[in-house]
């Protein structure tokens, strides 16, 4: 029997993570069909879970692993991990914050411009040979638009800094006003939507924000409004959005996330005023490498007796002050 700590890998992760950890740990791989068999054989010895969040790490799974000490989540968002249940069992949860903020800021601006200027449609027009016969139709502009950011956490603030260079007004909604920011704060999402032309969603996922962007919010955004969602698909009521796009209750939407990934409703695919991309906000070699490195360091630090580097707010490191909770941090 190996004396190396056993780690359960839930789903596929970057090879660099496995390659970096396999020397010091015994890795058990869940391929989607063998989880029960792994737990039956090794459950009493599994001390860590490594996950990218595609499969839930819920209270039932945590309860089946009596030796569990650490859940290392690949990504800043950990809404598929029951961190409250983990805390009750004395299990630390870590994520990978901050290292992806700049990438998400850059990506969000790109998705916004692609959506408003209909760049994917323009490319399809050119590739289809239509430019030989006619000019691409005039479109919409970012000029003069009022930007609203739903969720002014670390990523939201990076997005705001990026967009401040476009000479646009910026306001935001979050549960609490951010004291060091001068942007106007709206206490409700409906109020924010009613006062902006572009609504960028950077709210966390989970039950508390499910369908926060609903039919009322979309109606408040109005027929010239643009919705950009780079948070979690569950934050937007997809059925209400499909109706708003189809009936032109809003102008357009740019979406990187969906309610039931990777399945995207046919009705949404049919919307010609939506730019849809497959959850690629942080999908660069550079940023995913930084995220993998931070996850690896969390695992090594915990089992090396140093304590976790980036524990989530619900499971602060023993003997350390809990990190400040930012209720509006993105869950990308």
Residues designated as active site: 232, 261, 279
Measured CA to CA, the distance from residue 26 to residue 46 in angstroms comes to: 9
Distances (CA, A) of 312 to 13, 53, 82, 95, 161: 20, 14, 11, 7, 25
- Range list of β-strands (E), 137-213: 146-150, 169-173, 185-186, 198-201
CA-based nearest residue to 150, from 41, 262, 52, 230: 230
Crossing angle for the helix pair 119-127 and 101-116, to the nearest 10 degrees: 60
Q: Across the beta sheet with 169-173, what order do the strands follow?
A: 185-186, 169-173, 146-150, 198-201, 226-229, 252-255, 274-276
């Amino acid at each position: 029997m190996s004396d190396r700590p056993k780690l359960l890998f839930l789903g596929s992760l970057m090879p660099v993570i496995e390659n970096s950890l396999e020397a010091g740990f015994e890795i058990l791989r869940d391929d989607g069909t063998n989880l029960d068999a792994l737990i039956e054989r090794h459950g009493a010895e599994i001390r860590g879970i490594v996950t990218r969040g595609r499969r839930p790490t819920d209270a039932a799974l945590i309860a089946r692993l009596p030796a569990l000490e650490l859940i290392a989540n690949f990504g800043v968002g950990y809404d598929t991990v029951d961190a409250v249940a983990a805390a009750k069992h004395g299990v630390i949860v870590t994520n990978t914050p901050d290292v992806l903020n700049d990438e998400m800021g850059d990506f969000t601006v790109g998705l916004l411009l692609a959506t408003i200027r209909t760049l994917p449609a323009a490319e399809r027009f050119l590739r289809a040979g239509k430019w030989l016969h006619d000019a691409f139709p005039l479109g919409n502009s970012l000029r003069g638009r009022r930007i609203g950011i739903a969720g002014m956490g670390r990523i939201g603030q990076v997005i705001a800094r990026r967009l401040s260079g476009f000479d646009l007004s910026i306001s935001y909604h979050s549960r609490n006003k951010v004291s060091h920011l001068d942007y106007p704060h709206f206490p409700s999402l409906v109020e924010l939507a009613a006062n902006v032309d572009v609504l960028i969603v950077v709210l966390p996922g989970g039950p508390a924000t499910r369908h926060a962007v609903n039919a009322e919010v979309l109606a408040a955004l109005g027929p010239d409004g643009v919705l950009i969602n780079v948070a979690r698909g569950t934050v937007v009521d997809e059925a209400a959005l499909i109706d708003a796009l189809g009936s032109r209750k809003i102008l357009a939407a740019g979406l990187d996330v969906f309610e039931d990934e990777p399945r995207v409703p046919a009705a949404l695919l049919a919307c010609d005023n939506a730019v849809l991309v497959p959850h690629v906000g942080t999908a660069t070699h550079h940023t995913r490498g930084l995220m993998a490195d931070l996850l690896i360091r969390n695992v090594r630090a915990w089992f090396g007796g140093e304590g976790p580097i980036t524990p989530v707010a619900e499971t602060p490191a023993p003997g350390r002050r809990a990190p400040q909770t930012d209720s509006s941090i993105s869950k990308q």
